[in-house]
Structure formats: structure tokens, C-alpha cells
Chain A
Amino acid sequence: MSAAAAIPRAGISDRLLGPLLIAPVVVVLGAVIAYPLFAALALSLFAVDTLTLDAQWVGLGNFGELLGSDGRFWTALVVTLVWTAATLALQLVLGIAMALLLNRDIWMRSLARSLVLFPYFISTVVAVLVWRWLFNDFFGLINLALIGGGVIDAPVDWLGSMPNAFVSLVVVGAWKFFPFVVIAVLARLQSIPESLYEAARLDGAGVWARFRDVTLPQIGEVLGIVVLLRAIWDFKEFDLIFLLTGGGPIDATRTLPLIVYQEAFGLNRMGMAAAYAVSMMIVMLGFFAAYRAAVRGRA
């Protein structure tokens, strides 16, 4: 028990203050999200035309279809999971490395820090258009540089064949979203007391040992949150994949959110789209539960 709690004070008691402070968050989310959320859950049990919203009860029929032999759920789930794991891993490695570099005393550090955020800043649509340009056969810097350097002698098809399309997607995804890791880690790095490093140095710890024994434990909690948030986000990512590969070649990069969009607005089957979305949510809930268990186990 902390010393402060023992001292009687005027004002609202802690017992009330805690719930009171979180109340606005709960109220806002409850008011704004609750209705659409339940609407989406309900939609998954109906056959719904997107344009007229005429609904016909089908119970679990939508789920039966999407999980069945003609459904696309399982293949798309595998693609989604591989994409999430690969791009997230790359984001973490790049993000932590960049944050450590930018935490050092380097030239024009403020400018470097804000330039690194640029991929995160730029709207996804523009980012994808520019990347498609960079990948282009004729005017793309990537092919031109590789041909100029003598690495290849004809342009490489970066987006339309496998495994290139998947690798390109993962790299562009990592480029677009690693600044999130940089922002979060950099902020946490700044509140690690310098004394900890000095103590480690006195103990004769090298660069790697200092990272492992001081930095990593200190940023561990933030990293945990970053992994959780980014994993959810990457799992749900739509714009980037839709615009970069459109899910192709064939189904090689067709993740679940692309199918949700296609069902909802291409095929006008809102109920089926909701069923895919709810299935995605159940998968994420599973991972979330595992995450909570892991965190609790460590604590």
C-alpha cells in the first residue's frame, strides 16, 4: 500500500474516481460502436441485399457456406495469417532498429525523426500508387536500378507472380506501418533513465548486452502493446492489399478483408460479408485470449 493512500483527503474517493475517469471512454464507445457492432452481428444471420437491405433469415446458413467446400474462408485465413505474421515481424525489426538509431545523438535528429514517419503519414492510396510506379517495368526505379547495376537484364514482375507478389506486399506493408513501432518505442526509450545504462557500462556490458539487459526489458511492455495493436490492424488491413495486388495472382494474396469487401459491395451480399467479418472476429478473439493468457503468465 502506498503512503499516499493512507492520508485522508478532501474530494472524491478513489473508489469512485477510477470508474469515473474511464466512464467517458465507455460512454463514447458504447454510443458510437455498439449499434453498428450489433447490427453487423445480426446481419451475419440473414441473407441481405446491400442495396435495399432486404433481409431473409438464414440462421447459420452463411457460416455453413463460407466454411464449406465452395467457401473461401480457410484458404483466405491462411493467407491472412501468413501476411500478418510476416509483415509484423518485419515492422518490429525495422521499427526497433530505427528507434534505437534515432535515439542516438545524430545529425539533424528532429528532421530524421519526422522523415521516418513519412510512410505512415502519406495516405495509403497515394503510397500504393507510388509503389506500383516504383515496381513498374519501364519507369520503375527498382527495375531500372537493378538493370543498371547488372543484377538482372529484363524487368522483374514484382506484383503479378508468386512468390514476388507476396514478398512485395509484405515489404510495402512493413514500410508503410513500421513508423508506428518507431513512434511508440522512441517515446518509451526517452523515459529510460540514463543511470541504468551507466550502471551496465560500469559492469562491463557491451552494446548488445546493454540492449538485452536494459533496453529490451524497459521497452518490453510497450512492445507487447504494439504487437497486439499492429497484429489486429494488419489482420484487418484492406486498402493496401486491395490496391497493390487486388488479391492476385489468382487468390495468392486474397486476405479475408478483401473477401468481406467483395461480398459486401461487389456481390451485394451484406449478410455473407458480415458472416466473414464475424468469423474473422472470432479468430482474432482466439488470438487475443492467448495474448492475455501469455501476459498474465509472465506477470
Chain B
Amino acid sequence: MVAGVGGRVAHNGAASGGFSRRAVLAAGLALPVAGCGAPDDRIVLRWWSPQAAPAQARAYRAQIKTFEAANPRYRVLFEPTSDDGYPAQFAAAFAAGQVPNLVSHLPSFAAQTYYAQGLLAPMDPVIAAIGADRFLPDANRPYLAPDGRHAAIGIGSTAVDMLWVRRELMAEAGITAIPRTWDQLRAAARAMQKGAVYGAPLPYGSNSMTSLVFVGFVHRAGGQIFSPDLDLVLDSPATYAALDFYRSMREFCPPGATSFGWADSLNAFVSGATATGIYGGRVLINIARQNPRIAQHLACVPYPTIDAQVPHWTFNDFPSLFMPKQAPHQEATRALAASLYDPEGYVRQLLAAPGHVLPVIKGITDREDYRGNTITTTFAPEIAAMTAAASAGHNLGYESPAHRPNVKAGEIIASNALAELVQRVVLAGENPRAAVARASRAIEAIMRR
């Protein structure tokens, strides 16, 4: 009976309370439903890109507007993709046949991998539509597939691993010339490292930056990862010299460099915490916006090599433009792709990340609108240096003009085998020979598949 009364009380109390609670929940969570657009019978073309910072997205929208005005039957949907997560997005899209019509700004080796699987349409017609001679010499070489056609074309070009220095710190340390060799760089780093300022922000983390930077060091020691016929030649004196240099620079890098990626390395230099930097043109915008007082002292050159006889080697990730084969409306997509190189819109797109994404089309750097930008005028010499370095640039998918395209480059970087090699030798102090043998086994296993 007592329980019965209790039940009643709970019943009444809760029922009245319950209703108003529900009302509150509904009020608190009721939110606007996304509106549906007006009916639109235009054909939709989807364009994906992992580079979609607000300024860049604005530039793309302007280009889309121009294309749509000239092609009223089409509507272009720009859809940003994730920079870290694009492999998963693209894997699902390809598997389901739900692919975008056009993709921009993925690195060249991603395009090569997809093309090798038969997932992309060759871009040669687009090159023809734009005019092959309008591209800078060899701008489309890295995208040449084993079948002689182009898996993608360049949308821009980036000199990713330039050496950045601050002249005022050099002067203070009594250094007169920007380092050209590793010995000079080490000496400069030693001289400029004091107090809270470190010599360099080289990465030692388990990530792609460490792998990519290491590939550069091997080349700057006069070596290569693969022979032109794509036999692995990692076990070479150049590799050991590169490891040795990488290890010797550890004392000039911040303690936390053991987990640095691109963003950390960039921040370290931009904020003034390191005396030198290793990065592309993004340094310019970030310094202008975040630390303008060091802007006037900046200079950049290709990263030093083991000695002055060994030529420079610059890492260019070759931001690409490609078309998935399964997508419909190929003809219109080709027109859209070609329209992105119309100078006016193209300049606007480049200036959304001035100095970072460099042009692949001739004559752009001389245009009034390109030079009208404060960053491109203030840092004209730096941009010229980067443009020169980038146009002679390479990456693991295209180590030299003599190399066959390496369609496994993306997987080798993703496997972290090279970053692990650096970590084993530099951080764990393992025997370099054993570590190189181990990395070679891992990379050869990838090449065999």
C-alpha cells in the first residue's frame, strides 16, 4: 500500500514535470532546417580541392562565376576536401563511382597512383585546349604517366623546402653569406642559436614531412632513393651522409622537433623562435600577418647541399589538376579545367596564397594584376628564387627528368618507412646500416605489390 501511494505521487509529479521538460528540450533543440535551393535544371559539375582556406575559396568562386556565365547550361559545385583525410574520401568515392568531375591541388604522386589504377582520364586534351606552349617548360613533366600520356596537369607549383634566413640575426652572429653547404649551415645554426632562439626547425616526427625532407637531403648529398629504372638504391653513401647531417642538426633544433610537422616547423620560424626555416612561400603571408617586424630581414635560397659541387634539389609537391574517368560530362569538365587558366581568374587564385602557389603559365609574373599585390612586390626577389627552384623541382614520384614515374611514391611516404629510418638513427641511436636495411625491406615490399 505504501508503495502504491509512492507510485501515485511519482506518477503525478513526473507526468506534469515530464511534459514541460519535453517542451524545454524541444525549445532548446529546435533549430532551423536547411533550406532547399530553388529548382535548377542546370547540369552540375563537382570540383574538389583540399586547398580551401576562405581566401582561396573566394577566388575559386569568382572563377566558377566566370565559367557559369560563359556556359549557362552548367552549374559548378565547389566541395572542399580534407588535406589529411583525402585518401579515405577518394577511396570511397572511387569505389562507389560517386566521383567529382574535377580535382585540384592533390600532389602529383596521388594523381599518378590513381591514374595507374585506371581511375583517371588523360589530361592531354586539356593541355591542348590551354595550349602546351603556354605552360612553363617541363611544367607538366611530373604528371607524365608510364603510357606517355598525362595523368594530370599542374595547377600551380610550390618550392616546399627553401632555406629561409633572417639577415639581421646573421649579421649579429657575424655571418656574411647565406649558407651554401651543409658545413656552412651547421656553423651558421651554431652561431645564431642562443637564448630562446634555436638554429633550425627540422622535423624528426613520425610523419610525411620527415620523410619528404629526408628524401631532399639524400639528393643534396648527391644520391637518390631509386635509380631511373626504379630499383631501390637507398643503401648508398649519400644516404649515410644525409643521415649523418640530419643527426648533426638535431642539437640546433628545438626539443619538440621530434614531433614537428609542416605547421609546427612554419610556426617556429615565423614566430622568430628559430633563426632559419625550411618551407615554401606560405612563410611570406604568415610573416606579413603574424610577425611583420622581421619581414624586412627575410631572405630565401634553395636548401644547402653537402658541398658546392652538388647541385640544388628542391622538393615540389606539384599541385595537380585531374579528372576522374567515371564522372559524366567530360567535355564540359575539360572546358571548366581549361577556363581555370584564364589569366585574370588564375592570377586571383594564385594571389589567394601569394608566393606559396606559384604560376605554371608563362607571363603571369609580369602581369600588372599579379605584381599589384603587396606581398608579391615586397618579396619579389624571394618569389623569383622560389619560382626558379620550383621549376627545377622534383619529388619522390619524379626524382629526376631521367626517372620513370614512380606510382608507388604516395604509398612509400604513407608507410612512414623513411621517417622511421630518421627516427631510428637520430633519436634511438640505432646502427644506420641496420636501419637502412630495414627501411629498404619495407620499401621493396611496397614496390613489389
Given A138-B196, A138-B273, A250-B423, A51 contacting B206 (CB threshold 8 A): no
Q: Which residues of A contact B401 (CB under 8 A)?
A: none
**Who on chain A is nearest to B87 by CB?**
A265
Asked if A267 CB lies within 8 Å of chain B CBs, one says yes
Asked if A157 CB lies within 8 Å of chain B CBs, one says yes
Q: Within A247-273, which residues are at the interface with B (CB < 8 Å)?
A: 247-251, 254, 262, 264-270
Would A250 and B88 count as touching, CB distance under 8 A? Answer: no
Contact mask B247-262 → A, CB, 8 Å, 1/0?
0000000111111100
Given A51-B91, A132-B264, A246-B205, A155 contacting B414 (CB threshold 8 A): no
Q: Give the distance to chain B from A160, nearest Cβ to Cβ, in Å.
A: 2
Would B94 and A51 count as touching, CB distance under 8 A? Answer: yes
Q: Which residues of B contact A139 (CB under 8 A)?
A: 267, 271
CA distance A70 to B446 in the complex (A): 13
**Who on chain A is nearest to B442 by CB?**
A70
CA distance A138 to B117 in the complex (A): 45
User: Could you say which interface size class chain B belongs to?
Assistant: 35 or more
Would A52 and B256 count as touching, CB distance under 8 A? Answer: no
Would B255 and A155 count as touching, CB distance under 8 A? Answer: yes
Would B428 and A250 count as touching, CB distance under 8 A? Answer: yes
Asked if A161 CB lies within 8 Å of chain B CBs, one says yes
**Who on chain B is nearest to A242 by CB?**
B84
Q: Within A108-167, which residues are at the interface with B (CB < 8 Å)?
A: 132, 135-139, 154-161, 165
Would A157 and B258 count as touching, CB distance under 8 A? Answer: yes
Would B427 and A51 count as touching, CB distance under 8 A? Answer: no
CA distance A29 to B367 in the complex (A): 60
Would A159 and B87 count as touching, CB distance under 8 A? Answer: no
Q: Within B104-123, which residues are at the interface with A (CB < 8 Å)?
A: 113-114, 117-119
Would A249 and B255 count as touching, CB distance under 8 A? Answer: no
Asked if B268 CB lies within 8 Å of chain A CBs, one says yes
**Who on chain A is nearest to B427 by CB?**
A249
CA distance A250 to B204 in the complex (A): 10
Q: Which residues of A contact B420 (CB under 8 A)?
A: 250-251
Q: Within B258-295, which residues are at the interface with A (CB < 8 Å)?
A: 258-260, 264, 267-268, 271, 273
Q: Which residues of A contact B449 (CB under 8 A)?
A: 269
What is B's interface to A at a CB cutoff of 8 Å? 87-88, 90-91, 94-95, 113-114, 117-119, 196, 204-207, 254-260, 264, 267-268, 271, 273, 411, 414-416, 419-420, 423-424, 427-428, 441, 445-446, 449
What is A's interface to B at a CB cutoff of 8 Å? 49-53, 70, 132, 135-139, 154-161, 165, 245-251, 254, 262, 264-270
| New A-B contacts (16) at CB < 8 Å, excluding given A53-B95, A70-B445, A246-B207 | A51-B117, A52-B118, A136-B264, A137-B273, A159-B258, A160-B256, A160-B260, A161-B427, A249-B427, A249-B428, A250-B206, A250-B427, A262-B416, A265-B87, A266-B411, A266-B414
Closest 10 CB pairs of A and B: A160-B258, A248-B206, A266-B414, A157-B255, A265-B87, A160-B259, A159-B259, A138-B273, A137-B254, A246-B206
11 pairs, CB–CB < 8 Å, chain A vs chain B: A52-B119, A137-B255, A137-B268, A138-B271, A157-B256, A160-B255, A160-B258, A160-B259, A248-B207, A249-B206, A267-B446
